[in-house]
Amino acid sequence: MSIPIVEIVNVSKTYSTAAGDFPALKNINLTVNKGEFLGVVGKSGAGKSTLLNMINGVDELTSGEVLVHSDGRRVSVHHLNEDEKALWRGRTMGVVYQSFQLLPMLTLVENITLPMDLAGNFKPRESREKAMELLRLVEIEEHAEKLPALISGGQQQRVAIARALANDPDILVADEPTGSLDSVTADHIFDVFSRLVAERGKTIVMVTHDMGLKSRFTRCLTLVDGELQNEEKMETKTKGRRKS
Please report, as ranges, the residues that interact with ligand ADP according to CB under 6 A: 15, 17, 22, 24, 42, 44-50
**Cβ of residue 181: shortest distance to ligand ADP, in angstroms?**
18
230 binds, among Mg ion, ligand ADP, none (CB under 5 to 8 A by kind): none
Give the integer Cα–Cα distance in Å for 99 and 15. Answer: 20
- The nearer residue to ligand ADP, 6 or 134, going by C-beta atoms, is 6
- The nearer residue to Mg ion, 45 or 124, going by C-beta atoms, is 45
**Cβ of residue 224: shortest distance to Mg ion, in angstroms?**
14
Give the integer Cα–Cα distance in Å for 167 and 194. Answer: 18
**Cβ of residue 205: shortest distance to ligand ADP, in angstroms?**
13
- The nearer residue to Mg ion, 12 or 98, going by C-beta atoms, is 98
**Cβ of residue 149: shortest distance to ligand ADP, in angstroms?**
25
**Cβ of residue 96: shortest distance to ligand ADP, in angstroms?**
13
46 binds, among Mg ion, ligand ADP, none (CB under 5 to 8 A by kind): ligand ADP
- The nearer residue to ligand ADP, 47 or 169, going by C-beta atoms, is 47
Name the residues that contact Mg ion, by CB under 5 A. 48-49, 98
**Cβ of residue 175: shortest distance to ligand ADP, in angstroms?**
7
- The nearer residue to Mg ion, 109 or 161, going by C-beta atoms, is 161
153 binds, among ligand ADP, Mg ion, none (CB under 5 to 8 A by kind): none
- The nearer residue to ligand ADP, 52 or 164, going by C-beta atoms, is 52
3-state secondary structure the chain: CCCEEEEEEEEEEEEEECCEEEEEEEEEEEEEECCCEEEEECCCCCCHHHHHHHHCCCCCCCEEEEEEEECCEEEEHHHCCHHHHHHHHHHHEEEECCCCCCCCCCCHHHHHHHHHHHHCCCCHHHHHHHHHHHHHHCCCHHHCCCCHHHCCHHHHHHHHHHHHCCCCCCEEEEECCCCCCCHHHHHHHHHHHHHHHHHHCCEEEEEECCHHHHHHCCEEEEEECCEEEEEEECHHHCCCCCCC
